[in-house]
A = this chain, B = another copy of it.
Amino acid sequence: MKLATLRTGSGSTTAALATGEGTYLALPASDVGALLGHENWRAIAEAADGEAISNPDFAPLLPNAGKVICCGLNYGDHIQEMGRDLPEYPTLFAKYADTLIGANDAVEVRGSARVDWEAELAVVVGSELYQADEHQAREGIAGYTVANDVSMRDWQNRTLQWFQGKAWDATTPVGPAMVTPDEAGEEFQVRGYVNGELVQDGNTRTLVFGPAQLLSYISQFTVLRPGDLVLTGTPGGVGMGMTPPRFLQDGDTLTTEIDGIGRLENQFRIHASVTAQA
């Protein structure tokens, strides 16, 4: 099952079920997060008989996600190629739903000259998880989607805490759809492209902390609820790690792709010169 949040005009959105190549049926919920709030969301989706939509305009998949929690330093092969030991614990940080945009939305950045990419598998929470073990966490995964944890490296590196480089409103594309685990499989090839050039290419089999492990770990200290989103980290190939470092330029197109899940394509408008006050 593949679910998306689609714009329906005049600022409203609807959850929708994919029925074929690019065709959707509207569901009786404003977005996928609201749909997941119903315990019987699978049955609701299976009974879809709403309006057919053939030119989907993807809104942020989870426009009102209560929690958007990200994991850093999670691809074993990338960590080892950087000469570091595998971490004992996941590196976690938080952002807010205001960061999220749709799968094909333009990204406008004012005040950063170091806009970087982080192609990621993201996990959508499907049931309430608190102090859940790994089995419960696995059962609590509603599905998988694609995200790019676009990062303003100049701001991220101003201090030890990454939040201010990660939490810019309307800079994190997510979607286009959530694919349920039964259809998505277990291993995912995660790729990022800048203007069509492949820059990131990793497989989630090398994740130090897999999706269920991450959800279980997070749930030890904070409750996860249906519609929350967990980003699982990015493989090697970010611009900051290149020699010389490379960042997105005004007009660049960033593509983020996971086989069997979906593809984001976002054009960037970057106004580096507008600097903020400190």
Contacts and interface: CB of A to CB of B under 8 A. Distances in A.
A163 interface: yes
Interface stretch (A218-226, A235-243, A250-258): A218-226
A247 to B, nearest CB: 17
A216 interface: yes
A276 interface: yes
A93 interface: yes
A98 interface: yes
Nearest to A159: B91
Given A67-B96, A222-B169, A88 B278 contact: yes
A57 interface: no
A277 interface: yes
A134 B98 contact: no
B90 A159 contact: yes
Dominant SS among interface residues on chain A: loop
B222 A111 contact: no
A208 B127 CA distance: 42
B96 A93 contact: no
Nearest to A161: B93
Q: How large is the interface on A (under 10, 10 to 19, 20 to 34, 35 or more residues)?
A: 35 or more
A133 B159 CA distance: 21
A92 B278 contact: no
A87 interface: yes
A115 to B, nearest CB: 12
Nearest to A168: B221
A161 B91 contact: yes
A65 to B, nearest CB: 11
Contact of A276 (B73, B167, B221, B223): B221
Interface string A140-169: 000000000000100100111111100111
Interface string A120-132: 0000000000110
Closest 10 CB pairs of A and B: A220-B276, A91-B159, A89-B158, A94-B94, A168-B221, A93-B161, A92-B163, A92-B164, A93-B163, A169-B222
Interface of A: 66-67, 69, 72-73, 87-96, 98-99, 110-111, 130-131, 133-134, 152, 155, 158-164, 167-169, 209, 216-218, 220-223, 276-278
